[in-house]
């Protein structure tokens, strides 16, 4: 998914397009041409391609924000390194231990000041461009969430978070900071990641970007297969469903039947996954064509056995970012330690888990805000944090209940139960994510339980402007969902599906590829062509 | 007391650093051990595999295209007939969308003017394709006059990739292989295709312009393609009621049922869109093409029922005047047949096949009137007196003295079903409405007799169970006729 609130036309180049494919081919050709001649400079091609891609896909005018973010997060760690050196010198020259300690404290304070200043600069730009207008709108000082006309740079959340992770890790001395600005800029701007992530880490990504990867070391077959799989999820599932979901939730009335709400939320569940994970598959595949493996961002989240497990499988890189840069620092902070100590008087479990629960609430509040500043996103974030916190706090009670009821928690049936339960819990969360008015979210949730009214299902869908044919066409999305489910199930069981497919004979593979391509093509006709795609029309 | 590190170990947070797993690494969380990756194949083996797979996919694509892609498409008919007329001396061509295709009968024009006209308009023809058609005709026949037929939608935002593909594919059919490849590549890399999925999907053309999806149609289509059947013969057989009259022109004979006017409105529920600058740019390009080649260009907004003009409201003169400005500044002649003055052209109700198109008789009448306009031009005169200008929009509205159509909608309000009607007519016409409930046996009960009120609230308990209909009649105030126009509104009890 592209950043929310990108203005129409900002994200104009689709990944499943000839333009992008030609861009990839040209970049690959240039990469290997330069790599053969001067392998140490091949990364410059990747940088040039990344900057060109940013200008092609986003607005070139917003490139300045990315350059500013890269400059800040490049300069600050270098300044920190210089401060470390100065600190060492001063400590070495200090006459006694007290003086050494004083020098260390003084430099630590300065280092913190540099870090805070750099963080404020990065997050300040993000907050201003992404939240300021929405905030003014929410308090009635702006006509609409986009009325100020602020240009939201493509991928600003992703490259800001990624740059900040570099900054904080450098501050913590995890690696030597990068001295070459262009190499750092490549880490920040690597083109497959700017559209929708993942949020990569410097130690994992940067060495791969800077090292030349020969063509024969790259598994193009796996990359192409993954690209097509991603396109299937994005086009045949997400794009197919988005119109129906929009029709259902664009005008929520008090009488909306729960059956329609549940249908819309289930579709949204599939649409969200198809859109985000499909897009990620495509950009991961694009990156791997250059021999650069980016961080995985999804691990079959709808097979999760708890909401916490879900968040370890959904948007993984955001989760790990939050864990490392928000959760841990906050959970081990002095106030949280004090809270844990006080709570432990009421029980050891409470003392151990309460700080983590509070930290989780904070993390998910930020995750909600990361998606947008509107109240429904905040509610969605808090809902997730609250459920996870409660599950953590009540874990002993659940354990005792399982023992009392002699539930075999290791059985397959129990796992299926947990997966279904988690799926339902996640879907309740989607109410707050997808229904853009918080009041409407609550209304839909209420109607789900008090006014299910299955008999009004079809009538309401028709009133929402959905023709019978629109609903029949959902069969294509359902077929794609079945394919994704089968693949996911096999992967859950440890099967390396791409390798298995690549081991088939040519005819079977050609048949599979044609089936997948056909499904993509048909659903693309249905969704791309406003005026009668894949409908009988004699041109 | 546990340490702080112990506390966070219990936390519900993402655990293992999945972020460090390289792309393509097999999942390892399942019970069975993952299979070993297959041994790498030799280069030649892999190349052969790729060739076989690509060949199989292309083969399947070609087979499906033969069966599914519509052989009888009107774009195919036009280009086939155009190629058949390669040795004729064509001096006038008509380009544009279906409105142009079904508004101009070349035989009527040629009978009076002594010209040879070919109608190159095709359904939903985009303006860049109109440019291509005009350019081709100028190159092949050195035509003297190009008539560009437009309607409001030709320049607003609706895009028809299917039309592009059908047009390009039909044009390709008569070209050499390199030229065909070059033309199709031009389509795939055109601005409307290049950035989107269409640029790849168009390699599978069977989805854009396909036969009706049943075995009989697919088999017939396949047979037509591989036999000696011409596209015209196939089209006349496949398209019920359509007749080909020659020189690229074919049409239907049906007449619009005005009680279904709502189904034939061109304006979407969101209201009319502004003209697309890209569309205006293409019109400019066509003007430039004609000027550079010394070709006369006449841009015609084709006739449609008055209600389907009035539905645009003030947007119509506002946007159309932009179009007129572009054409006239580039040296072309602009003529809006919808604003025709009575002395030049007055369409009859029976001239229209639907809300946008003329039927064959209507096309003959309009073509005859258009001959008059061309004669004025040929004599060096101006056609501006033949129509109201957009500045005279109020005069145009005042000139309409009949009710063109009535449409209705319904909504719920305070336990009542409210039926709301709207009559499309001139600004000086006073109308009155009557609302009647229609029973299942067809009998009607008046629930609101003739009055100026255009809404009727029906209490829920007065509506029979199940679905019902309300008949809305409209007539001019003072008239004693049963009604001038009517429409039916579905409501549910």
Question: What is the CA angle B482-B485-B487, rounded to 5?
Answer: 110
Q: Based on the domain organization, do B108 and B194 belong to the same domain? A: yes
Which residues does chain B have within 8 Å of residue A502's beta carbon, measured at their own beta carbons?
Answer: 38
Q: What's the first-to-final CA gap in chain B, in angstroms?
A: 70
A444 to chain B, minimum CA–CA distance in Å?
21
A294: chain B residues, CB-CB within 8 Å: 23
Residue B285 in domain: yes
Write down the number of H helices and E strands in chain A: 26, 0
pLDDT for position B474: 97
pLDDT at B45: 83
CA B423, B425, B428, B434 torsion-angle sign:
negative
What band does B358 get if pLDDT is binned at 50, 70 and 90? Answer: very high
Summarised one tens digit per residue, pLDDT across range B247-265 is 999 999 999 999 999 999 9
Q: What are B103-137's pLDDT values in tens digits? A: 999 999 999 999 999 999 999 999 999 999 999 99
Structure tokens at B92: 């006038």
- What is the domain count for chain B? 2
Tell me, yes or no, whether B369 and B455 share the same domain. Answer: no
Q: Answer yes or no: do B358 and B427 share one domain.
A: no
The alpha carbon of residue B129 is apart from the nearest alpha carbon of chain A, in Å, by 13
| B354 and B423 inside one domain | no
- CB-CB contact of B470 with B419 (8 Å): yes
B484: domain CATH number is 2.60.40.10
**B397, B415, B434 - which closes a domain:** B397
Min Cα distance A54 → chain B (Å) is 14
Closest Cβ–Cβ partner in A226, A352, A494 for B34? A494
pLDDT one-digit tens code per residue, A468-522? 878 888 999 999 999 999 999 999 999 999 999 999 999 999 999 999 999 998 8
Closest B-chain CA to A501: B38
Residue B10 forms part of a structural domain = no
Mutate to test the interface with B, among A9, A13, A15, A18 (most CBs of B within 10 A): A18
- Crossing angle for the helix pair B161-172 and B74-84, nearest 10 degrees? 30
Contact across the interface for A17 and B194, Cβ inside 8 Å: yes
Residues B468, B327 within the same domain: no
HSE toward the beta carbon, residue A306, CA cutoff 13 A:
15
Q: Do A518 and B188 touch (CB under 8 A)?
A: no
B478 in the same domain as B363 = no
Chain A: nearest CA to B93, how far in angstroms?
19
Is B22 domain-assigned? no
Residues B72 and B128 in one domain: yes
Specify whether B377 is located in the same domain as B438.
no
The verdict on B446 touching A (C-beta cutoff 8 Å) is no
Residue of A nearest to B48 (CA): A506
- Do residue B162 and residue B73 come from a single domain? yes
Residue B72's φ and ψ, nearest 5 degrees, are -90, 20
Query: Do residue B209 and residue B78 come from a single domain?
Result: yes
* pLDDT grade for B152, boundaries at 50, 70 and 90: very high
pLDDT at B119: 98
pLDDT digits (tens, 9 = 90+) for B187-196: 999 988 898 8
Q: In this structure, are residues A259 and A453 in contact, taking their beta carbons and an 8 Å threshold? A: yes
Give the nearest chain A residue to B195 (CA atoms): A13
Using CB atoms, pick whichever of A308, A491, A530 lies closest to residue B27.
A491
Contact B72 A323 (CB under 8 A): no
Residue B327 lies in a domain: yes
**Dihedral angle sign, alpha carbons of residues B225, B231, B234, B239:** positive
Q: How far is CA A414 from CA A287, A526, B31, B133, in A?
A: 39, 40, 17, 67
B466 touches chain A (CB under 8 A): no
| 3-class secondary structure, A467 | coil
- Which of B397, B422, B444 terminates a domain? The answer is B397
Is the sign of the CA dihedral A201, A207, A209, A215 positive or negative? negative
Contact B197 A19 (CB under 8 A): no
**What is the CATH number for B180?**
3.40.50.1110
Q: For residue B25, which residues of chain A lie inside 8 Å, CB to CB?
A: 293, 296
Task: Give Cβ neighbours of residue B319 (< 8 Å, ≥ 6 apart).
Answer: B152, B155, B156, B272, B274, B275, B312
Within a domain: residue B45? Answer: no
Q: Give the confidence band of B62 by pLDDT, cuts at 50, 70, 90.
A: very high
Domain, as residue range, for B148: 68-397
How far off is chain B from A213, nearest CA to CA, in Å? 14
Where does residue A367 rank: exposed (0-12), middle (13-18), buried (19+ CB within 10 A)? Answer: buried
Residues B364 and B439 in one domain: no
Strand partners, B210: B69
| pLDDT value at residue A511 | 94
**Which residues, at least 6 apart from B305, have a Cβ–Cβ distance to it below 8 Å?**
B256, B258, B261, B264, B347, B349, B352, B355, B404, B405
- Whether the per-residue pLDDT at A538 is higher than 80: the answer is no
* CA–CA distance, B287 with B322 (Å, rounded to integer): 15
**In this model, does residue B9 exceed pLDDT 70?**
no
Whether B197 sits inside 8 A of A198 (CB atoms) is: no
Assess if residue B319 is contained within a domain: yes
pLDDT at B30: 38
B53 in any annotated domain: no
Residue B489 near chain A (CB below 8 Å) = no
Distance CA B79, CA B248 (A): 8
Confidence of residue A373 (pLDDT cuts 50, 70, 90): confident
Residue ending a domain, among B397, B428, B455, is B397
Residues B77 and B221 placed together within one structural domain of the fold: yes
* Chain B residues within an 8 Å CB radius of A506: 49, 52-53, 56
Please choose, from the candidates B6, B17, B1, the residue with its C-alpha nearest in 3D space to the C-alpha of residue A331.
Answer: B6
- Give tens-digit pLDDT for A426-472: 999 999 999 999 999 999 999 999 999 888 898 888 888 888 878 88
**If pLDDT is split at 50, 70 and 90, which confidence band does B213 have?**
confident
Flag whether B5 is in a domain: no
Closest chain A residue to the Cα of B165, Cα to Cα:
A539
């Amino acid at each position: 998914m592209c950043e929310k609130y990108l203005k129409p036309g900002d994200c104009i180049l689709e990944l499943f397009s000839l333009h992008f494919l030609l861009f990839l081919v040209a970049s690959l050709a240039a990469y290997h041409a330069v790599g053969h001649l001067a392998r140490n400079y091949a990364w410059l091609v990747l940088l040039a391609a990344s900057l060109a891609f940013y200008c092609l896909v986003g607005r070139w005018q917003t490139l300045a924000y990315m350059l500013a973010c890269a400059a800040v997060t490049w300069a600050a760690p270098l300044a920190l390194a210089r401060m470390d050196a100065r600190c060492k010198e001063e400590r070495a020259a200090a006459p006694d231990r007290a003086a050494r300690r004083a020098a260390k404290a003084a430099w630590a304070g300065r280092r913190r000041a540099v870090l805070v200043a750099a963080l404020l600069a990065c997050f300040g730009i993000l907050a201003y461009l992404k939240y300021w207008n929405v905030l003014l709108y929410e308090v009635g000082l702006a006509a609409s969430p986009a009325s100020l006309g602020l240009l939201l740079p493509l991928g600003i959340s992703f490259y800001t978070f990624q740059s900040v992770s570099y900054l904080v890790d450098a501050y913590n001395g995890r690696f030597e900071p990068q001295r070459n600005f262009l190499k750092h800029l490549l880490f920040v701007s690597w083109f497959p990641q700017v559209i929708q992530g993942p949020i990569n880490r410097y130690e994992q990504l940067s060495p791969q970007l800077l090292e030349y990867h020969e063509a024969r070391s790259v598994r193009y077959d796996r990359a192409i297969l993954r690209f097509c799989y991603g396109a299937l999820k994005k086009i045949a599932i997400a794009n197919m469903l988005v119109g129906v979901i929009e029709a259902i939730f664009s005008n929520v009335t008090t009488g909306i039947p729960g059956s329609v709400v549940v249908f819309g939320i289930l579709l949204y569940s599939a649409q969200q996954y198809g859109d985000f994970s499909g897009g990620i598959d495509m950009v991961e595949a694009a990156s791997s064509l250059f021999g650069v493996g980016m961080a995985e961002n999804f691990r079959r989240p709808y097979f999760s056995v708890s909401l916490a497990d879900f968040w370890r499988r959904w948007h993984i890189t955001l989760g790990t970012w939050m864990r490392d840069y928000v959760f841990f620092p906050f959970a081990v902070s002095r106030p949280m330690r004090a809270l844990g100590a006080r709570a432990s008087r009421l029980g050891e479990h409470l003392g151990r888990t309460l700080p983590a629960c509070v930290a989780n609430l904070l993390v998910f509040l930020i995750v909600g805000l990361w998606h947008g500043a509107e109240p429904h996103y905040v509610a969605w974030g808090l809902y997730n944090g609250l459920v996870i916190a409660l599950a953590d706090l009540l874990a002993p009670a659940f354990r005792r209940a399982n023992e009392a009821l002699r539930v075999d928690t290791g059985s397959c049936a129990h796992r299926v139960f947990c997966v279904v339960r988690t799926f339902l819990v996640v879907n309740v969360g989607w109410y707050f994510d997808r229904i853009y008015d918080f009041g409407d979210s609550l209304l839909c949730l209420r109607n789900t339980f008090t006014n299910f009214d299955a008999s009004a299902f079809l009538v309401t869908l028709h009133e929402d402007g959905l023709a019978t044919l629109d609903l029949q066409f959902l069969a294509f999305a359902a077929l794609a969902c079945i394919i994704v489910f089968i693949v996911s199930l096999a992967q859950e069981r440890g099967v390396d599906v791409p390798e298995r497919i690549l081991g088939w004979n040519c005819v079977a593979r050609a048949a599979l590829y044609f089936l997948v391509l056909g499904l993509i093509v048909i659903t693309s006709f249905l969704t791309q062509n406003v005026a009668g795609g894949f409908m009988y029309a004699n041109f | 007391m546990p340490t702080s590190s112990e506390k966070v170990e219990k936390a519900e947070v993402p655990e293992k650093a999945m972020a460090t797993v390289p792309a393509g690494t097999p999942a390892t969380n399942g019970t069975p051990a993952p299979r070993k990756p297959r041994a790498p194949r030799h280069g030649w083996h892999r190349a052969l595999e790729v060739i076989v797979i690509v060949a199989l996919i292309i083969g399947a694509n070609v087979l499906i295209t033969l069966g599914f892609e519509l052989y009888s498409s009107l774009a195919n008919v036009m280009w086939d007939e155009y190629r058949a007329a390669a040795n004729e001396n064509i001096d006038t061509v008509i380009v544009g969308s279906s409105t142009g295709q079904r508004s101009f009968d070349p035989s009527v024009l040629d009978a009076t003017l002594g010209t040879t006209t070919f109608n190159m308009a095709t359904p939903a023809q985009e303006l860049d394709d109109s440019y291509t058609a005009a350019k081709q005709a100028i190159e092949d026949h050195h035509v003297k006059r190009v008539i560009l037929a437009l309607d409001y939608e030709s320049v607003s935002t609706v895009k028809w990739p299917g039309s592009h593909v059908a047009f390009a594919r039909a044009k390709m059919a008569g070209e050499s292989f390199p030229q065909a490849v070059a033309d199709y590549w031009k389509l795939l890399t055109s601005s409307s295709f290049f950035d989107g999925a269409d640029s790849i999907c168009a390699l599978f053309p069977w989805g854009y312009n396909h036969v009706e999806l049943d075995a009989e149609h697919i088999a017939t289509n396949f047979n037509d393609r591989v036999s000696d059947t011409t596209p015209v013969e196939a089209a006349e057989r496949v398209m019920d009621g359509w007749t080909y009259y020659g020189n690229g022109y074919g049409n239907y004979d049906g007449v619009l049922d005005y009680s279904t006017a709502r189904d034939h409105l061109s304006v979407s529920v969101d209201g009319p869109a502004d003209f697309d600058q890209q569309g205006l740019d293409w019109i400019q390009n066509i003007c430039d093409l004609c000027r550079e080649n010394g070709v006369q260009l006449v841009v015609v907004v084709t006739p449609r029922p008055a209600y389907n003009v009035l539905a645009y409201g003030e947007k119509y003169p506002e946007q159309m005047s932009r179009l007129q400005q572009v054409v006239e500044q580039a040296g072309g002649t602009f003529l809006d047949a919808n604003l025709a003055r009575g002395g030049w052209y007055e369409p009859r109700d029976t001239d229209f096949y639907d809300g946008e198109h003329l039927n064959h008789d209507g096309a003959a009448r309009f073509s005859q009137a258009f001959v008059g306009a061309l004669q004025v031009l040929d004599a060096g005169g101006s056609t501006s007196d033949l129509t109201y200008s957009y500045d005279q929009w109020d005069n145009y509205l005042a000139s309409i003295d009949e009710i063109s159509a009535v449409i209705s909608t319904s909504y719920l309000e305070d336990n009542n079903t409210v039926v709301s009607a709207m009559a499309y007519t001139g600004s000086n016409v006073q109308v009155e409405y009557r609302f009647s409930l229609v029973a299942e046996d067809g009998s009607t009960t008046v629930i609101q007799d003739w009055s100026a009120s255009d809404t009727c609230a029906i209490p829920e308990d007065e509506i029979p169970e199940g679905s019902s209909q309300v008949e809305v009649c409209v007539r001019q105030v003072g008239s004693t006729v049963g009604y001038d126009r009517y429409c039916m509104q579905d409501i549910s009890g």
